[in-house]
């Protein structure tokens, strides 16, 4: 058993039944409280969290580790406290699991303080109302769906459209310039992605300001279900005690919902719509509401959200939407055209995109870009049936602008550099606004569309055009 969760109680019971990751146990003397951590098995290697009380002597628990080898009748002990994770500056540069144990092969963390993963959200009266924009260096996001510092942004997309790549690029761009602490929480993702992310953060030289917490795909559903709370407890220390700004990246929030569905089914609860757990809304809220601003620090969250079968009406997706201040939607259609990042420029939105939030010039340019792209979308059917020649001169100009804007808002990423051979570009907001404004003013009508594809600043077009002459 890890030193991170030492036993402080000797209350002992015995296992009544084991159904996958759900364990029923009888405690004849005194019932452990809900959320208390229980240990059983050889060397206390099996960790169970109390989910509910079945009667005066029986609890039903959710295993956070594999239950392989556990038998009926085995002793099970109450630790007297919930699962606790280490907090403090000593966690920086390390990789943890849901129990707060290190999994990076560098030995345990020498730290005094540990806190429960179950903590209440900051009261509304103590939350800050200040609003400011967080820059990512990614043109399409900074222009059309700017992130709010201390807000929650969602990356929505089906399988294989680039959620993890976009999240890793944001880490690369923002962590190097972001004055604060970054915390990455991997919920139910592949072990390979965790290893790649660790190397990426290490090579970028920002590991010393980053904490990584993983509940991976091959772990028990209980571990995937609770790893988000473990990561938030660590993040709250930096916000509340160290009084720093925290960038919290979660990949993937849908796997949190999925783990809850698995646990709920094993617990014997009746499912609600489309097979999800009846407690979906409250479980998601208990996680999301802990991400908040205070007067002394903030937690800014960027969350990847898998969209099952590209269905945005799925309950897991619609419940997540309600918590977000910005929604970045990834489009399979754009991905199929090779327009990366495959961000849907019309569907992606942000509460910060207003004259008060981003300034008059940014708002005006963003609105004009969106109007141009929306007009192009309406003209696509006519173009497909009759061709460009049948459009009016003004409509042809709109199509030319829209196609150049679409290509200008693509961008080569550092995380894909080894695959594409294109040098990465992080673009300041002013350069993005200048480029879009000049395209809208028809300055690049004579330039081929492909000249604007996968570039950074608009000046790169002029440089390449001059060299060709």
388-417, pLDDT tens digit by residue? Answer: 888 999 999 999 999 999 999 999 998 888
pLDDT at res. 1: 45
Q: Which of 281, 290, 348, 286 is nearest to 319 (CA)?
A: 281
Q: How far is CA 145 from CA 327, 338, 349, 350, in A?
A: 7, 21, 5, 5
> What residues are paired with 288 via a beta bridge?
none
DSSP 3-state of 433: helix
C-beta neighbour count of 335 within 10 angstroms: 18
Output the pTM of the full model: 0.87
pLDDT at res. 3: 44
Across the chain, what does the average pLDDT equal?
A: 90
Tens digit of each residue's pLDDT (9 = 90 or more) over 297-329: 889 999 999 999 889 999 999 999 999 999 999
- Residue 346 · residue 377 · CB < 8 Å: yes
Catalytic: 163?
yes
Tens digit of each residue's pLDDT (9 = 90 or more) over 129-151: 888 898 999 999 999 999 998 89
pLDDT at res. 9: 55
pLDDT at res. 2: 44
Q: How many CA atoms are closer than 13 Å to the CA of 5, on its beta-carbon side? A: 31
Q: Which stretches of the chain score pLDDT less than 50?
A: 1-4, 7
DSSP 3-state of 298: strand
Mention every residue, 6+ apart, whose C-beta is less than 8 A from residue 177: 135, 137
Catalytic: 449?
no
Which residue of the set 94, 114, 115, 163 is catalytic? 163
Q: Which DSSP letter does residue 3 get?
A: G
Q: Which DSSP letter does residue 125 get?
A: G
Phi-psi category of residue 110: left, alpha or beta, with phi > 0 → left and psi -120 to 50 → alpha: beta
Q: Calculate helix-pair angle for 280-288, 253-267, nearest 10 degrees.
A: 140
Number of DSSP helices (H) and strands (E) in the chain, helices first: 14, 18
Q: How far is CA 449 from CA 152, 452, 458, in A?
A: 35, 6, 12
Look up tokens 């790893």; give the residue: 227
Q: Which two tokens stand for residue 39?
A: 């240990």
Cα distance between the two ends of the chain: 70
Residue 431, classified by CB atoms within 10 Å of its CB into exposed (0-12), middle (13-18) or buried (19+), is: middle
pLDDT at res. 253: 94
Which residue of the set 190, 269, 367, 422 is catalytic? 190
Q: Which two tokens stand for residue 58?
A: 């029986």
pLDDT at res. 469: 54
Catalytic: 367?
no
E strands of 216-317, at which residues?
Answer: 245-251, 298-306
pLDDT at res. 226: 96
Which residue of the set 148, 169, 189, 262 is catalytic? 189
């Amino acid at each position: 058993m890890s030193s991170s969760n030492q036993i402080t109680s000797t209350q002992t019971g015995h296992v009544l039944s084991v159904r996958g990751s759900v364990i029923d146990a009888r405690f004849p003397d005194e019932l452990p409280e809900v959320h208390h951590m229980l240990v059983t098995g050889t060397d206390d290697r099996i960790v169970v969290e109390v989910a509910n009380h079945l009667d005066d002597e029986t609890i039903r628990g959710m295993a956070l580790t594999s239950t392989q080898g556990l038998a009926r009748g085995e002793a099970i002990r109450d630790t007297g406290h919930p699962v606790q994770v280490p907090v403090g500056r000593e966690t920086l540069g390390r990789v943890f699991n849901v129990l707060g144990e290190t999994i990076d092969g560098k030995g345990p963390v020498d730290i005094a303080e540990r806190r429960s993963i179950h903590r209440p959200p900051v009261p509304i009266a103590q939350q800050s109302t200040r609003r400011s924009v967080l820059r990512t260096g990614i043109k399409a996001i900074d222009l059309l769906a700017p992130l709010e510092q201390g807000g929650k942004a969602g990356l929505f997309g089906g399988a294989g459209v680039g959620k993890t790549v976009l999240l890793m690029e944001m880490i690369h761009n923002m962590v190097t310039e972001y004055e604060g602490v970054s915390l990455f929480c991997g919920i139910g993702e592949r072990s390979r992605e965790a290893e790649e992310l660790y190397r990426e953060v290490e090579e970028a030289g920002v590991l010393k300001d980053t904490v990584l917490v993983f509940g991976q795909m091959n772990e028990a559903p209980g571990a995937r279900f609770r790893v988000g709370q473990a990561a938030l407890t660590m993040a709250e220390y930096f916000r509340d005690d160290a009084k720093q700004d925290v960038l919290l990246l979660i990949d993937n929030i849908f796997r949190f919902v999925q783990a809850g569905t698995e646990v709920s089914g094993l617990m014997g609860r009746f499912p609600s719509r489309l097979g999800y757990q009846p407690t979906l809304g409250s479980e998601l809220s208990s996680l999301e509401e802990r991400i908040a601003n205070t007067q002394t620090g903030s937690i800014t969250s960027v969350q990847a959200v898998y969209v099952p079968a590209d269905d945005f009406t799925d309950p897991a997706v619609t419940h997540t939407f309600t918590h977000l201040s910005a929604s970045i939607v990834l489009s399979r259609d754009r991905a199929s055209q090779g327009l990366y990042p495959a961000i849907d420029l019309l569907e992606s939105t942000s509460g910060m995109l207003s004259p008060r939030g981003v300034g008059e010039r940014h708002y005006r340019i963003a609105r004009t870009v969106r109007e141009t792209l929306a007009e192009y979308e309406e003209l696509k059917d006519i173009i497909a049936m009759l061709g460009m020649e049948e459009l009016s001169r003004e409509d042809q100009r709109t199509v030319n602008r829209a196609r150049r804007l679409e290509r200008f808002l693509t961008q080569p990423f550092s995380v894909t550099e080894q695959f594409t051979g294109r040098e990465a570009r992080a673009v300041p907001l002013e350069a993005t606004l200048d480029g879009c404004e000049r395209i809208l003013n028809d300055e690049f009508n004579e330039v081929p569309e492909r000249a604007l594809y996968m570039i950074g600043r608009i000046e790169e077009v002029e440089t390449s055009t001059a060299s060709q002459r």
